[in-house]
Amino acid sequence: MRKVGLLTSGGDCQALNAAMRGVVKGLSNNLDGLEVYGFYEGYKGLIYGKYRLLTSSDFSGILTKGGTILGSSRQPFKLMRQPDENGLDKVEAMKHNYYKLNLDCLVILGGNGTQKTANLLREEGLNIIHLPKTIDNDIYGTDVTFGFQSAINIAADAIDCIHTTAASHNRVFIVEVMGHKVGWLTLYAGIAAGADIILIPEIPYDIDKIAEAIHKRTKAGKGFTVLAVAEGAISKKDAKLSKKEYQKKLEKSPYPSVSYEVAAQIEKKLGVDTRVTVPGHTQRGGSPCPYDRALCSRLGAAAAEAIIEGDYGNMIAMKGNKTVRVPLGKVAGKLKMVDKDAPIVKEAKFMGISFGD
């Protein structure tokens, strides 16, 4: 009898259910005896013993269902070693519930913070498999994360819809795309939807360069401009501030986000109507796109194979369109950033897209 635990942690995305389904189908089709336990609300369920034995019916019909049937929560990695309000040792509690169920392996689906805690549990002696989930595509060691393509589709669709109203009213429109630390989602969605200017955290912008790009379009007879701006986009001036100084600046800012600040600066410099649209959490919602469904089925099957072979302590990644096992200790805590000199950036610039730099 093989006993496996499942949990989904951190922000949700469209393909978590598809990934869990892939794991369970891979295991059930190749093992005679299997018990799968689902922990509710991510690490919270593992800490406080909130779980139940799952059956095959739980995984029926969820390939196309967004969100997660197990629920999720954010449990900051930096607080994992700190006791809770009642003095409970969270790490010891997680280990206790793992051994209480006599699990052979715990499959953890999540992003960077989730991965760091998964690696911590691996270091504590638990058998762990991690599946890389995030719409940000910022997990080091894998070409792509599940949820990324589905989010691209939604963000690109939002930019597509803005094009018609921007053209109709000869306005400047900013679409704010999710991504605090990295710009993969904004970069791909912006290119896919034909944004004229793309601002991402890795390439600090100069507002004068943005104004120049808009003015150039106006001179060419194009009365509107569409900007795709990442949540974490930052000006060259602000990029020179320390983390503490920048945080103080944000706390005192009259703008709810960088997009509104950029909009105000464009209006002041050019005197043109500028509007901001924020798709927000719609980028995490809805059904997973076909690409993500196929990706999760492959990652889930590869995870099941690793479990059957007893090869633990790995993230199941995609490299060159192949599933590979990457040791958690080599990737946990690392971010995959957009290189400002990456081919995709150079190609976008070659087509005339401005990055405000």
Residue 310: how many other CB atoms lie within 10 Å: 10
Residue 322: how many other CB atoms lie within 10 Å: 10
The H or E element spanning position 115 is helix 112-123
What is the token pair recorded at 213?
């790009």
Nearest-angstrom CA–CA distance, 80 and 47: 10
* Alpha-carbon distances of 2 from 103, 130, 285, 304, 308, rounded to whole Å: 8, 18, 33, 11, 9
Q: State the pLDDT at residue 12.
A: 87
For each of the chain's 357 residues, which pLDDT tens digit applies?
899 999 999 988 999 999 999 999 999 999 999 999 999 999 999 999 999 999 999 999 999 999 999 999 888 889 899 999 999 999 999 999 999 999 999 999 999 999 999 999 999 999 999 999 999 999 999 999 999 999 999 999 999 999 888 887 788 999 999 999 999 999 999 999 999 999 999 999 999 999 999 999 988 888 899 999 999 999 999 989 898 888 988 888 899 999 999 999 999 999 988 999 999 999 999 999 999 999 999 999 999 999 999 999 999 999 999 999 999 999 999 999 999 999 999 999 999 999 999
Tokens 């309000």 sit at which residue? Answer: 85
Contact criterion met (CB below 8 Å) for 166 and 272: no
Nearest-angstrom CA–CA distance, 67 and 77: 22
Q: State the pLDDT at residue 170.
A: 80
Is 206 assigned a catalytic role?
A: no
Nearest 5°: CA angle at 4, between 148 and 56?
80
Residue 269: how many other CB atoms lie within 10 Å: 15
Could you tell me which of 327, 302, 344, 279 has the C-alpha nearest to residue 135?
A: 279
Tokens 């989730």 sit at which residue? Answer: 114
What is the token pair recorded at 234?
């930052």
**Structural domains of the chain, with CATH:** 2-147+288-331 (3.40.50.450), 150-284 (3.40.50.460)
Please give the span between the terminal C-alpha atoms of the chain, in angstroms, as a whole number.
58
Q: State the pLDDT at residue 233.
A: 97
Q: What residues are paired with 131 via a beta bridge? A: 109
What is the token pair recorded at 222?
């194009």
What is the token pair recorded at 235?
């000006």
Determine which one of 12, 58, 136, 196 is catalytic: 136
Q: At 172, is the secondary structure helix, strand, or coil?
A: strand
Tokens 């690490």 sit at which residue? Answer: 43
Length of the chain: 357
Nearest-angstrom CA–CA distance, 203 and 340: 6
